[in-house]
Structure 1
Amino acid sequence: MKKTNKQTEELPTATIDQAHFEKFANGPLLLKCFEVVKDATEFVDEGGTILHADDTYVSFIEAYWALKVLFQRETGLDAKLIAEKRIENLRAALFSGGEPEPIVLGSPKVERLVLLEEPYFNQFDNLTLAAMSYNDTDEAHDQFSGSGDTPLDADATWNVSVSILNANTALRVLVLRLSGGTLNDMAQIVAHISNPKGEAIH
C-alpha cells in the first residue's frame, strides 16, 4: 500500500513567498533546502507518493522560494528568469543544430556588514573586544592594501567604513571599561597620553 502525505485544502500562499524567506540568513535557507530533499527522498524510498498540496508538495514550494532567494543573493539575478532563458537557449540550439548560447551569471554580491552600536559590544569581555577591534581594522587594512590603485566599489567601501567604525566602537567600550566607566575618566587618560607633560601642543 502506498503512503501519502496529509493534504491541505488550501496552500498557505500568504506566508510561503519570497518576502518570507528573505528574512532568513543563507545558512538556515540552505539547511531548509537540504531537509526538504532529504525528507522527500526518504518518503519516496519508503513507498510514499507525492500528491498535489500535500506536506511534501508544500515543502517543495518552500525550497523553491528559499533557493530563489539564495540565487538572487549570490548573483543578483532572478533564478526563474534565468531558468526560462536557459530553456529558450536550449530549444533554439536544438532547432539550429548548434550549441546553446551560454548564460553569464553575475558575480557574487558582497554582503554588506552591519553597523553595530555600543550595547552590542557590552556583552563581551575585554579580550574579546580587543580581538574584535583588531579583526575589524585588519579586514579594513587588507581591503585597502589589496586594492592597490583600483578604487573600491560601493559595497567594499561600505564594508571598510563599517569595519573601522565597529572597531572604534569596540575600543570605545573597552577603554571606557578599563578607565573607570565614565567619559571624563577616559578623556583624562587620553589627554595624559596625548600630552604627558602638560605642555601646549603646537
Structure 2
Amino acid sequence: MSKIIQFQAQAAPEIIDEAHYDRYADAALLLKCFEIVKDAIEVINEPEYSIEKEDDMHVDLIRAFYALRVLFKRKTGHDAAQVAQQHWDAMTLHLLEGAALPDMSIPLCGPLTSALPPEYFEAHSDLQLACAAFNHSDQVRLGVSATLAANNAQIAATMAIEAINSTTALRKLVLRLSGGTMEALAAHVARKPGETLQ
C-alpha cells in the first residue's frame, strides 16, 4: 500500500500591468486609485508604520500607477510615461539652459477618419444624400455606444467627425430640396403672417 499526498495546485500569481487594468471601467479604476491613495495617506500619518519596498502598500501604489496609466491612455490616446518624460525634458531645458518656457499641454489622439468636404456630396442624388446622412448618423449612434463602453478618446473624436459628415450631407439635401439657398429654405420654414402654431 502506498500513501500519496496530493497538494492543492498553487494559484497563478496576479500580474500587475496595463492589460490587467484595461478590462475595468473608468469608475472602478478611479475608485481603486482613490482607495490606494487614501490608505497611503493613512500609513504616512501613522508614525509607527512606514511604506517599505515590496510591502502591501508599495504593491498597491504600483496597482494605482498602472490603473492611472490605463485611464490616461483612454482619455488621450498616449502613454503617460512618455508624456511625463517629454514634460520633464522640456522643463529641464527651460530651468538649466534658459530655453523658452515649454508648452506643457497634453496631446490628444486624433480621429480615425476625417470630415468630408461639402463638395464630396455635390454629385449625390437626393436618395444618396439621405442614405449618406443616415449612414453617418448610424455610425455616430454605434460609436456613442462604444464610447460609453470604452471611453476612448480616439473613438469620441471619430464620432465627432461622423456627426459632421452626417450634418453636412443632411444640410446639402435640405438645401437642395428647398431651393438651394438659405433664403429659399427660410421661405419654406418661416411662419406665414397670421398663422398660429397648433
Q: TM-score, normalised by structure 1?
A: 0.48
Greater Rg, structure 1 or structure 2?
Answer: 2
Q: TM-score, normalised by structure 2?
A: 0.49
